[in-house]
Structure 1
Amino acid sequence: MHFKVDTALEQKFLLTGEDDSPNNYLLNVGRTGEGGWATPRHRHNFDQVRFVLKGNYPYGENKVLPEGWVAYFPESVHYGPQARPEGLEMMVCQFGGASGNGFLSVKRREAANDALKKRGEFKAGFFHYTDNAGQPQVQDGSEACFEQATGRRVGFASPRYDDLVVMNPANYAWLPTAEAGVSVKPLGSFTERNARLGFVRIEAEAIYSAGQEDSIQILFVAKGRLLVEGQELGPRSALEFCANEGPVGLTALEPVEIFYMVLPRF
């Protein structure tokens, strides 16, 4: 893991997937710095999940995701303008959606950004440049980056949803499981490829068997400490399990809450 810092947004990259695979992904925790950070209304050709850890996240006009809430951002669905206020802390997972368009890795995006800056500049989420005919042009920054990295125009699948799916986990009930001391709070299942979100709660000294899903399972420790194969992990740690990799036992050293994601099945 490493840090990427600019004047307004600090990101800690926790996990990354496999580049060029349809469910490639990036899991990070971001903290907004001095002055805040904003983008215009836009959309992506990949999915996102956002979990607000501290503060409130304005993701559109008169729309706010409060602390502790979770939102699913489907591919091809517009959102914004977003304005991340100073001090906001948020877990974000970006991953290839059901269409199979995939997700560009950070390495490929940064290389594309460097190439684009040689012939233009980014301002407030847009890429400004002069075309071959000498005419000034403006393009969404994310789309320009994708086209530079892949050599093809961005393709957007027909939206499966008409808006974001915003969830308040506090209003969901915990459900018991077959494992003693382990309960779950499923938040939802999305698209025909069955991406899933929810929480796992593990009582102190209880064991949760991870890695038994039919696609990539990502676990983000929201509260507490646990032991995994002799290694102790605390809050804001993350684990990845490939499809059917488990069972791998996670032992709670104290009461633990984990936010889980199961990526689309391809």
Structure 2
Amino acid sequence: MDVVVARDVATQAQDKGTDSSLRPGGVLRQMLFHDNAPDGLSFKFFRSQYLPGDKAFTSPRHHHAFQQLRWTESGEINYGPGQYIRAREMAYFPRGAYYGPQVKDTGVGLLLQLGFHGEHQYGGVWANVREEAIKRLKEKGTFAEGVFVDTDPDTGERRERDSGQALYEEQYAALTGNKFVVPEEGYDSPILLHPQAFDYYEAAPGVEVKHLGSFFDHPGPHADIRLSVVRLSPGGTYHFGPERGQIAWTTDPGLRVEDSTYPELTYLYSPRDEKAEISAEGTVEIFVVEFPRLD
């Protein structure tokens, strides 16, 4: 199991759209975990502080081929007109579901993006083609305020696309020779969850669990992403099984992993095919995400 603490993770400022995100804003970000797993899963998990004024993160209405989970640590974070994820709430963003336009100018939160086989493109082979893909896009069109504008080669008409989507399409074509396609949405829109409204049940002595939801964006008996909250008390032990990769985090001090005790804002990654267990000094609440698997 990999463990990181927020205070030990370097913070980087997004450079107002001039970096590879191609979106405006000056978000302060901490990369917590990322992986390209043997089963084809690619993900990144990071913590962001959103800033007001000309440093606000903005994007047009758009959608993705990958899945997202967003959780707000403090304040409230916008994801569409009149739509906010408030403190200790989360929202699940399904594949293909449109959202936005969004203006993120306040709040601190976590963002998990995940996909399989090119749905999510981060690190690894994608890092090798990113800058060249951006260069080719700039030769064909322009980036402005999170939008890429070029001429549609089939119709000859002016075309506007979300800048992130345009980059994904260019990278995917460069590596595979195929057209990148965002699937039709199975869920109509992002799903906002209020974890505080769910009740715990006792799963074992010192272990209480809330199951928040299970969402299928892929076919298969194990293809769902599972969201839970676990509350540990002294004497309780929670087990991370080998069947799925898992991400977890807590805002409480006292989480124990092996022989170490961790402070508030601790984050965990248990890869697939590995086992781990956690316990607590005092009472600790942990949010747990179980990754889908396609086999």
Q: TM-score scaled to structure 1, two decimals? A: 0.86
Q: 2:182 aligned with 1:156, yes or no?
A: yes
Q: 2:54 aligned with 1:28, yes or no?
A: no
Aligned residue runs from structure 1 range 33-182, under 5 A: 33-35=51-53, 36-86=56-106, 88-96=107-115, 102-106=119-123, 108=126, 112-113=130-131, 115-117=133-135, 118-119=138-139, 120-129=141-150, 137-151=159-173, 152-178=178-204, 180-182=205-207
Larger CA deviation: 21-30 vs 37-46:
21-30
Partner of 1:253: 281
Post-superposition shift, 1:131?
Answer: 8.0
Post-superposition shift, 1:41?
Answer: 0.6
Amino acid at match of 2:212: L
Match of 2:11 among 3, 23, 26: 3
Match of 1:222 among 251, 272, 294: 251
When residues 59 and 113 of structure 1 are mapped into structure 2, their CA distance, relative to the original with a 3 A threshold, is farther
Q: Distance in 1 between matches of 2:11 and 2:59?
A: 21
Post-superposition shift, 1:21?
Answer: 4.8
Partner of 2:3: none
Preserved contact between residue 182 and residue 200 of structure 1 (Cα < 8 Å): yes
Preserved contact between residue 207 and residue 238 of structure 2 (Cα < 8 Å): no
Aligned residue runs from structure 1 range 167-206, under 5 A: 167-178=193-204, 180-191=205-216, 192=219, 193-203=223-233, 205-206=234-235
Q: Distance in 2 between matches of 1:148 and 1:20?
A: 24
| Cα deviation digits, residues 105-153 of structure 1 (max 9, x gap) | 1563695256414535432211235788998653321121112222243
Q: Distance in 1 between matches of 2:225 and 2:179?
A: 26
Q: Distance in 2 between matches of 1:237 and 1:249?
A: 15
Amino acid at match of 2:167: C
Instruction: Work out the percentage of aligned pairs sharing the same amino acid.
Output: 25
CA RMSD of aligned residues (A): 2.6
Give the structure with the larger helix fraction.
2
Aligned residue runs from structure 1 range 228-247, under 5 A: 228-246=257-275
Amino acid at match of 1:45: A
Preserved contact between residue 22 and residue 102 of structure 1 (Cα < 8 Å): no
Q: Distance in 1 between matches of 2:181 and 2:290?
A: 24
| Cα deviation digits, residues 13-63 of structure 1 (max 9, x gap) | 111121685321111111012422111110000000011111112211222
Secondary structure, aligned partner of 2:41: coil
Q: Distance in 2 between matches of 1:132 and 1:189?
A: 41
Amino acid at match of 2:73: L
Post-superposition shift, 1:235?
Answer: 2.5
Post-superposition shift, 1:103?
Answer: 1.3
- Number of aligned residue pairs: give it: 260
Q: TM-score scaled to structure 2, two decimals? A: 0.79
Amino acid at match of 2:47: V
Preserved contact between residue 58 and residue 103 of structure 2 (Cα < 8 Å): yes
Post-superposition shift, 1:81?
Answer: 0.8
Preserved contact between residue 113 and residue 145 of structure 1 (Cα < 8 Å): no
Preserved contact between residue 133 and residue 171 of structure 2 (Cα < 8 Å): no
